[in-house]
A and B are shown apart, each in its own frame.
Chain A
Amino acid sequence: MSETRAAPAHQFDDFEQQYEAASLGMWAFLATEILFFGGLFLGYTVYRTLYPAAFTEGSHHLDIVLGSINTAVLIGSSLTMALAVHSAQVGRRQAIVGFLALTMLLGLVFLSIKTVEYGHKFDEALVPGAHFVYDGPFAPQVQLFFSFYFIMTGLHALHMVVGIGIMAVLAWLAWRGKFSPTYHTPVEISGLYWHFVDVVWIFLFPLLYLLGRH
């Protein structure tokens, strides 16, 4: 319990400066992440502009109910993550562990629902590749839509798996009493990452599931 840091790292004047440097570094990393996903968002925009009818058709094959539930689940996990950071700020050790566990649980619920959705796509032969079967004039372009669907949601899911791993480490550190109201930068920084993943989904959901629904 007494292992919490009493002094900031030696290159910093105080904890506040250390926190601001870490936070700034994380935002710089997130800016590169925006561009990492940005290439895919650009590709989606270009091909949706070229083949609007096919992308509308493809969008109809996604499960809007499961997609909406997953959106709510992910927003809920952002709330529990924010509450974990809040618990760290006010020094409630057990609450940190509890909210991190809840965040991981909601993350796993999201990934489970995603797995069910992927399973349906395999059953319907809508997975791009040799076994893609689709009747209609836009079959190649619909296959392109599903390529974007799988790569974008897959990359997003991969980020969530990484996030859940990070939270497992955080929960363990929190349990051992490594964080205090003066030092809890890892919790705050990991929170930024998790919320970023939430923001990516906030854009993926309407672009893949909703556009062309009516």
Chain B
Amino acid sequence: MTQHVVPRQVYYRVFAALLALTLLTVGAAHVDLGPLNIALALGIAICKALLVMLFFMHLRYSTHLTWIVAAAGVIWLGHLILFSMIDYLTRSWLAFSSW
């Protein structure tokens, strides 16, 4: 016995949830919610990604060390986008238009 065997029922339910969330996000995209459209689309995408990682990729049953490595990838990506956007979004605050 080397690893946790996930019952197939779990995979079917995750699959159904992923399809339902896909329908939801396509439907929501056709409704004008202003800035909420982006938040909702990304929120649903994050939920879908978590479902895939936790169940299909067995993260839920993995060691804490694996959790840390998986989180590191996401946190690095967060830093990359966060600090770059802090730069781009605040450039106009300085009135050096020639820059």
Bound: A72/B18 CA distance, A: 8
Is A206 touching B44 in the complex (CB atoms < 8 A)?
yes
Q: Which residue of A20, A39, A202, A211 is within 8 Å of B48 (Cβ)? A: A202
Bound: A83/B6 CA distance, A: 10
Is B84 touching A206 in the complex (CB atoms < 8 A)?
no
* Residue numbers in B under 8 Å from A23 (CB-CB): 62, 66
Tell me, yes or no, whether B95 is within 8 Å of chain A by CB.
no
Q: A24-B65, A35-B77, A202-B52 are in contact. Are A49 and B89 (CB under 8 A)?
A: yes
Contact with A along B1-27 (1 / 0, CB 8 A): 111011010011011001100100110
Contact with B along A1-41 (1 / 0, CB 8 A): 00000000000001110011001100110111111001101
Question: What is the interface residue range for chain A against chain B?
Answer: 35 or more
Distance in Å: Cβ of B17 to nearest Cβ of chain A: 10
* Residue numbers in B under 8 Å from A206 (CB-CB): 25, 29, 41-42, 44-45
Dominant secondary structure of chain A at its interface with chain B: helix
Dominant secondary structure of chain B at its interface with chain A: helix
Bound: A140/B57 CA distance, A: 40
Contact with B along A63-84 (1 / 0, CB 8 A): 0100010011001101101110
Bound: A199/B44 CA distance, A: 12
* Residue numbers in B under 8 Å from A89 (CB-CB): 3, 5
Bound: A72/B30 CA distance, A: 18
13 contacts between A and B (CB under 8 A): A14-B2, A24-B69, A31-B69, A34-B74, A35-B76, A68-B22, A79-B12, A82-B56, A86-B6, A182-B2, A198-B52, A199-B53, A202-B49
What residues make up the interface of A, taking CB atoms closer than 8 Å to B? 14-16, 19-20, 23-24, 27-28, 30-35, 38-39, 41-42, 45-46, 49-50, 64, 68, 71-72, 75-76, 78-79, 81-83, 86, 89-90, 182, 188, 191-192, 195-196, 198-199, 202-203, 205-207, 209-211, 213-214
Closest CB pairs A-B (n = 5): A31-B73, A210-B29, A206-B41, A34-B73, A213-B29
What residues make up the interface of B, taking CB atoms closer than 8 Å to A? 1-3, 5-6, 8, 11-12, 14-15, 18-19, 22, 25-26, 29-33, 37-38, 41-42, 44-45, 48-49, 52-53, 55-58, 62-63, 65-66, 69-70, 72-74, 76-77, 80-81, 84-85, 88-89
